[in-house]
Amino acid sequence: MEVFEKAQVVRLRSRHDKYLLADNDKETVYQDRNGIYKNAKWSVEIVQGTNWIRLKSCYERYLTASNMPFLLGATGKKVIQTLPTRLNSSLDWEPVREGAYVRLKTRYGQFLRANKGLPPWKNSITHDIPQRTSTTNWILWDVDLVQLRPQQPPKPISLHPPVSESPSHSPPDDASFSIYLKSPLNQGEDFLEAASPMKDVRIVFYNVENGDASNESEEKFFSFQGSSVEDLKEKLKEETGHDDIVVCCRNPFNAELHPLRLQLPPNNSDMHVVVITPSCNGQHFLFPLSFLHKFS
């Protein structure tokens, strides 16, 4: 649930390495390996006061666990897009964390499932309870953050109790009773940091330069759970669609680019990187020095 509390827009990737997509017929959903399409993005709505969420497609329709069988004789039921006149329980999904992945559970106890096999099972989406060991990981999803939810400013921590206008020796009412922290301010900041979600996930901000410093792309970002530079490079290849890249950090003092080679910053802190592609206007550059001198 911590992931979705932080996210406003997400992509869901199955263990088959395919994304959950909303079909442009505004009714069906399916899987595809290409997650750059707009219909791979799902807006997150949190059901107030609960651990349930709703996922809305780019067509403004909700991901819905229907009661229609996917195939006669099969246990799985269809997952579709709907826009009901009244919100109901078929739109609700409960995120259940399992390691680095998430299961999405319906109100009826089934899970969002990505199927594989021959048609009509190929690339289909159902909600079901796995009956075989070989299909248990079909209900596991990797969540990519596409857009962060605007954060509410933290409430100030009162270091001193308010001065009562008139002294009273009677015990306080439940509604007015409050506890005031008298610890130093830095301890209050440490408490807020420790309470923040997703301590094991970092946000990576990146833009792409293809050989012309004036043609720098807008900065984008994604959630990243890897632990090595090579993991980050593979993720950036997937995000940018380029296979031959150099991942760089910009020196804050002279703005020069330097390849990221050894290790990632500690403590899962957020990162800003520059992705350099090897070609521009049909020209190819040697990596890393001759290409990087163009930006120094």
Which of 40, 48, 78, 43 has the alpha carbon at shortest distance from 60? 43
Using CA atoms, how far apart are residues 208 and 230, in angstroms rounded to an integer? 18
Which pLDDT does position 92 carry in this prediction? Answer: 96
Q: What distances in angstroms separate CA 154 from CA 56, 185, 188, 192, 278, one per listed residue?
A: 28, 13, 11, 8, 44
- In this prediction the pTM is 0.55
Using CA atoms, how far apart are residues 190 and 193, in angstroms rounded to an integer? 5
Q: Is residue 62 packed enough to be buried (19+ CB in 10 Å), middle (13-18) or exposed (0-12)?
A: buried
Which pLDDT does position 279 carry in this prediction? Answer: 59
Residue whose pair of structure tokens reads 């595809």 in the numeric block: 32
Identify the residue with better confidence: 83 or 134: 83
Q: What distances in angstroms separate CA 83 from CA 59, 63, 90, 125, one per listed residue?
A: 10, 9, 11, 18
Which pLDDT does position 103 carry in this prediction? Answer: 95
Identify the residue with better confidence: 116 or 133: 116
Using CA atoms, how far apart are residues 10 and 95, in angstroms rounded to an integer? 13
Which pLDDT does position 283 carry in this prediction? Answer: 40
CATH code: domain 202-292 is: 3.10.20.90
Identify the residue with better confidence: 5 or 73: 5
At residue 25, does pLDDT exceed 50? yes
**Delimiting residues of CATH 2.80.10.50 domain(s) in the chain:** 2-148
Using CA atoms, how far apart are residues 123 and 107, in angstroms rounded to an integer? 24
Identify the residue with better confidence: 289 or 218: 218
**Delimiting residues of CATH 3.10.20.90 domain(s) in the chain:** 202-292
At residue 38, does pLDDT exceed 90? yes
Q: Tell me what the pLDDT averaged over the chain comes to.
A: 79
At residue 151, does pLDDT exceed 80? no
Q: Is residue 245 packed enough to be buried (19+ CB in 10 Å), middle (13-18) or exposed (0-12)?
A: middle
Taking only the tens place, the pLDDT of each residue in 82-109 is 999 999 999 999 999 998 899 999 998 9
Which of 118, 114, 70, 110 has the alpha carbon at shortest distance from 94? 110
3-state secondary structure of 172: coil
Q: Any idea of the CA torsion for 77, 66, 18, 119, to the nearest 10 degrees? A: 40
**Structure confidence at residue 36 as a pLDDT band (50, 70, 90):** confident
Which pLDDT does position 288 carry in this prediction? Answer: 44
At residue 115, does pLDDT exceed 60? yes
**Structure confidence at residue 32 as a pLDDT band (50, 70, 90):** very high
Using CA atoms, how far apart are residues 171 and 178, in angstroms rounded to an integer? 12
Enumerate residues 6+ apart whose C-beta is below 8 A from 183: none
Q: At the topology level of CATH, where does 2-148 sit?
A: Trefoil (Acidic Fibroblast Growth Factor, subunit A) (2.80.10)
Least confident of 112-116, 156-160, 244-248: 156-160
Which pLDDT does position 164 carry in this prediction? Answer: 53
Using CA atoms, how far apart are residues 62 and 47, in angstroms rounded to an integer? 13
Taking only the tens place, the pLDDT of each residue in 210-268 is 755 445 567 788 878 777 888 888 888 888 888 888 888 888 777 788 888 877 777 66
At residue 195, does pLDDT exceed 50? no
At residue 284, does pLDDT exceed 80? no
At residue 63, does pLDDT exceed 60? yes
Please give the backbone phi and psi of residue 19, each rounded to the nearest 5 degrees, phi first. Answer: -95, 150
CB 247 within 8 A of CB 240: no
Using CA atoms, how far apart are residues 296 and 292, in angstroms rounded to an integer? 7
